[in-house]
């Protein structure tokens, strides 16, 4: 039977919890039912409607979450240390937490396919935003003599990030990843469909237990994996497999939010004060609409919360972009220095 530490629990978190709290870690979510790993074994529990129906993504259980159990139900989701979050495709902008409480994000791509522009960069941005360490894996290195140039290309967009050419098929390069797969560490695999995320899970587990499938002859992935799942590896690490994301939406887009809440944006223009916080200000059109029953207060609350989230993401993104610019500058300076050294060597004495 696993201990909480085996499931990735950080004992520093226990402080605020009652000693008899029934804790578990979500390994998989199916409609309304969650699989939860506990020191007593794996259990399947209900997710109550109040958690399913909420707009508050912090409360909706997702794979990797630590939860308190009560009466064979999830009682609540504990605060996340990190969360890979994306925008859900569709007309309404919603956030989806892809995986929670991860230490490392493996951004997987295909070394044997021609590099696809900014694809890695978009997944990397997702990884950076979540507060975990990103590592780029270029899989299927066995299938190409060109894996070096794939690594070079990835390095150019993934400054300051480790890039590894690996093969789930032959095991090439996997031994270099063991430092990330330490006991109790949680790693999530993200990347397009068909690049071999599930095959990597099987390779790390040392057995074929996750279903994988050939990529279609037109090169398009098949979206073989249809749910996210947390696996315990023989190394003691926890590895989360995800389906290839169809659209890597970023939360930094305020426009989508404004479209989704156009009614509130319109109301705000009618407030007496331009910087109205919609609390106790006189002439507040938002408060009036809520009072008149024209605006659902819960909808307004979720708008406020999402705006705050966007602001947070934008902050983090700005930080990331600064770091990236710095790394680019240093890389350029290094290459000047190399060029200068070469010239010096060549200069006739």
Q: What does the binding site for ligand GTP look like in residue numbers (CB under 6 A)?
A: 139-140, 142-143, 167-169, 193-199, 212-215, 221-225, 243-244
Among 35, 82, 147, 198, binds Mg ion (CB under 5 A): 198
Number of H helices, E strands in the chain: 8, 13
Nearer Cβ to ligand GTP, position 23 or 238?
A: 238
**Smallest distance from the beta carbon of 315 to Zn ion, in angstroms?**
24
Distance, in Å, from the CA atom of 21 to the CA atom of 57, rounded to the nearest integer, reads 23
Pick one of Mg ion, ligand GTP, Zn ion, none as the site partner of residue 27 (Cβ within 5 to 8 A by kind). Answer: none
**Which two three-digit tokens encode residue 165?**
């050419």
Report the site for Zn ion in 283-312 (rule: CB under 5 A). Answer: 284, 286
Among 96, 31, 32, 102, which residue's Cα sits nearest to residue 65?
A: 102
The secondary element (H helix, E strand) that includes residue 132 is none
Distance, in Å, from the CA atom of 265 to the CA atom of 255, rounded to the nearest integer, reads 11
Nearer Cβ to ligand GTP, position 243 or 249?
A: 243
Distance, in Å, from the CA atom of 51 to the CA atom of 74, rounded to the nearest integer, reads 9
**Smallest distance from the beta carbon of 126 to ligand GTP, in angstroms?**
15
Among 278, 306, 310, 324, binds Zn ion (CB under 5 A): 278
**Smallest distance from the beta carbon of 158 to ligand GTP, in angstroms?**
19
Report the site for Zn ion in 234-263 (rule: CB under 5 A). Answer: none
**Smallest distance from the beta carbon of 284 to Zn ion, in angstroms?**
3
Query: Which runs of consecutive H residues, i.e. helices, occur in 49-146?
Result: 49-52, 119-129
Nearer Cβ to Mg ion, position 57 or 202?
A: 202
Count of beta carbons in the 10 Å neighbourhood of residue 349: 2
Distance, in Å, from the CA atom of 275 to the CA atom of 297, rounded to the nearest integer, reads 20
Distance, in Å, from the CA atom of 259 to the CA atom of 187, rounded to the nearest integer, reads 34
CB 211 within 8 A of CB 198: yes
Pick one of Zn ion, Mg ion, ligand GTP, none as the site partner of residue 62 (Cβ within 5 to 8 A by kind). Answer: none
Pick one of ligand GTP, Mg ion, Zn ion, none as the site partner of residue 126 (Cβ within 5 to 8 A by kind). Answer: none
Among 85, 93, 225, 302, binds Mg ion (CB under 5 A): 225
How far is CA 154 from each of CA 165, 199, 236, 306, rounded to the nearest angstrom? 10, 21, 29, 33
Pick one of Zn ion, ligand GTP, Mg ion, none as the site partner of residue 142 (Cβ within 5 to 8 A by kind). Answer: ligand GTP
CB 193 within 8 A of CB 199: no
Nearer Cβ to Mg ion, position 94 or 223?
A: 223
The secondary element (H helix, E strand) that includes residue 152 is helix 147-157
Query: Given the rule CB under 5 A, which of 168-176, 250-258, 266-274, 323-331 is the region that contacts Zn ion?
Result: 266-274
**Which two three-digit tokens encode residue 120?**
């890695």
Told to check if 271 binds Zn ion by CB under 5 A, we report: yes
Binding site for Mg ion (CB under 5 A): 197-198, 224-225
Binding site for Zn ion (CB under 5 A): 271, 276, 278, 284, 286
């Amino acid at each position: 039977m696993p201990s909480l530490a085996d499931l990735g629990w950080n004992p520093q978190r226990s402080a605020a919890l009652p000693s008899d709290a029934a804790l578990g870690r979500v390994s998989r979510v199916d409609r309304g039912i969650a699989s939860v790993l506990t020191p007593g074994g794996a259990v399947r529990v209900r997710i109550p409607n109040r958690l399913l129906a909420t707009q508050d993504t912090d409360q909706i259980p997702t794979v990797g979450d630590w939860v308190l159990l009560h009466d064979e139900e999830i009682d609540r989701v504990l605060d996340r240390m990190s969360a890979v979050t994306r925008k859900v495709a569709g007309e309404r902008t919603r956030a989806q937490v892809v995986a929670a409480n991860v230490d490392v994000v493996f951004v997987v791509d295909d070394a044997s396919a021609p590099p696809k522009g900014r694809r890695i960069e978009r997944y990397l941005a997702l990884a950076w935003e979540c507060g975990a360490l990103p590592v780029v894996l270029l899989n299927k290195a066995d299938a190409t003599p060109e894996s070096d140039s794939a690594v070079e290309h990835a390095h150019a967009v993934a400054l300051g990030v480790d890039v590894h050419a690996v093969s789930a098929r032959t095991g090439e390069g996997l031994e270099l990843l063991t430092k990330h797969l330490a006991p109790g560490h949680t790693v999530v695999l993200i990347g397009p469909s068909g690049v071999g995320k599930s095959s990597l899970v099987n390779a790390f587990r040392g057995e074929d237990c996750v279903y994988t499938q050939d990529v279609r002859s037109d090169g398009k992935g098949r979206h073989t994996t249809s749910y996210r799942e947390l696996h315990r590896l023989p190394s003691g690490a926890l590895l989360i497999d995800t389906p290839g994301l169809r659209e890597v939406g970023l939360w930094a887009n305020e426009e989508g939010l404004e479209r989704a809440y156009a009614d509130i944006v319109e109301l705000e223009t009618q407030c007496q004060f331009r910087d109205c916080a919609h609390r106790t200000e006189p002439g507040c059109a938002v408060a009036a609409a809520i009072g008149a029953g024209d605006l659902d207060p819960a909808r307004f609350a979720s708008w406020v919360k999402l705006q705050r989230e966007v602001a947070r993401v934008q902050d983090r993104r700005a930080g990331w972009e600064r770091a990236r610019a710095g790394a680019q500058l240093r890389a350029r300076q290094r290459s000047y220095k190399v060029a200068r050294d070469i010239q010096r060597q060549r200069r006739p004495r």
